[in-house]
Structure 1
């Protein structure tokens, strides 16, 4: 549809031939005067010696795995190019004509595992904002003059051996996003203090293919520090150290823990968003026993899905101030969950705005009468939306039918 709409415009010409098994670059008459070209996911092994595309803004050549070289003058005429994506190719060198791309804003070279050299003077790329060199053989020092970058994505192998210190990154003082892929999180956390500074970090430990986990990356606040732990086991001091600086936590398929409390509840004072998915050992979210003051007082959003052994959200006392800023709770596919709110817990939920409960087959009451004998009728004053989906045992929301629900 996008191509159909763009074909009617006189000021924009697109050439898109992706996943077509192309072995040769398109014919000259197809790419002349083109504004955007996408030949990604093909079988290209060579490119034209020169490409006269003076109007070209976007060039996407990613995942052409047979592409091993770029002609020296290939970029010479692309003076307006803004986006260049070569990731997943097997190029070894970037040619000197790269310096002609003076308006380039985004350069994606990630997973070019053979790339080890840039022949051009990178200082010419004075409008470049986003650079991704993860899983390449380029060294950080080779792009060190690009001090105006806003987004820099690296792997640990891009640092000089035994020299990946804060000093190597600190020169990029306009950075808004720094991504560093590491094979072993502990080594990076212990040896490089840059993650504890003013930069935002996104740490992902372990592989997952969860779709819902991406909710952590679409959080409204781009300055959140994010930690995702996928398919791991148990607790170690490195994780507990990172948690003290974490704003959004995701546990996906994690084993060896019975609750969040196992990570040390005092380490989670800065958590605003929490996602728990597919963690087969978790039986409760928080153990209140052993705490002497408010916990999770900054938590705003709690999402729990596919946790088969979950029996309740909170066990034990709930100190005043705990969960005081919680606005959203979603619970889905928790077959053993029988109760959601204890009396002590519901009294603290003065900001709860959205509650969604789905596919929790043992729940009979949303607010259990036996757990909330002293519940005041002004409870949950901010609740605006209540979604109850496929709860076959549900008999009531609140048996006494006395809540005022002023905001519902």
Structure 2
């Protein structure tokens, strides 16, 4: 298993990753797409130094650890953070920080970034500007999907448009669940 390069657990009922995940030294892709019971990302993910793709799209993840910022080879990061439905469980987490803004800046090789959040989550309104600024510094970024609480944040992204081949911004509050980026 140590030579495993792709671990695709998408569409399963997995709730957590084992600590032995750190033993997958060659892992390049960790896919947990549509794992609706998956709520907490193990700090062991930060030890996967060959990881190029981390897909947590359409999960119930409640926070993205700063350890993800240690993944210097990461090229694709997709995450859905919908912790408001599990607010009581979020209180059980050690940290109240859902997403560290500097984590986005630290993964400088990203070519694709998708952060899907619940528009009513106040934590995102407080951090969105810092996350957008961090994304603007990713010179190789080609695909960006974000919810922006207000249109003023589009000003930060304006110089990125020529380099982006795909972007999806949802601006302002909407009642429906934000659709994942394609």
Q: TM-score, normalised by structure 2?
A: 0.69
Q: How many residues align?
A: 150
**C-alpha displacement of 1:164:** 3.4
Q: Does 1:164 align with 2:135?
A: no
Q: Distance in 2 between matches of 1:122 and 1:135?
A: 15
Residue segments in structure 2 that go unaligned for 5+ positions in a row: 85-96, 174-181
Preserved contact between residue 64 and residue 88 of structure 1 (Cα < 8 Å): yes
1:131 corresponds, among 105, 113, 119, to: 113
Q: How far did residue 128 of structure 1 move?
A: 0.3
Alignment of 1:109 with 2:79, yes or no, is: yes
Contact kept? 2:65, 2:99, Cα under 8 Å: yes
2:10 to 13, 17, 40: 40
> In the TM superposition, what is the alpha-carbon distance from 1:93 to its structure 2 partner?
0.7
Separation in 2 of the partners of 1:43 and 1:124?
Answer: 31
Structure 2 counterpart of 1:150: 142
Q: Aligned with 2:10: secondary structure?
A: coil
Question: Which of the two has greater helix per residue?
Answer: 2
Rg comparison, structure with higher value: 1
Q: Gapped runs of 5+ residues in structure 1?
A: 1-30, 185-216, 218-408
- Matched with 2:54 is 84
What does residue 313 of structure 1 align with? none
* Structure 2 residue matching 1:45: 3-state secondary structure: coil
The alignment yields a C-alpha RMSD, in angstroms, of 2.8
**Residue 63 (structure 1) aligned to one of 16, 34, 44:** 34
Deviation at 1:177, TM superposition (A): 2.2
More contact order relative to length (CA 8 Å, sep ≥ 6): 2
Task: Give the superposition deviation at 1:87.
Answer: 0.8
Q: Kindly tell me: are residues 166 and 183 of structure 1, through their superposed partners in 2, closer, same or farther at Cα, counting changes over 3 Å? A: closer
Deviation at 1:170, TM superposition (A): 2.2
Normalised to the residue count of structure 1, the TM-score between the two structures is: 0.33
How far apart, in 1, do the equivalents of 2:11 and 2:130 lie?
28
SS in 2 for 1:88: strand
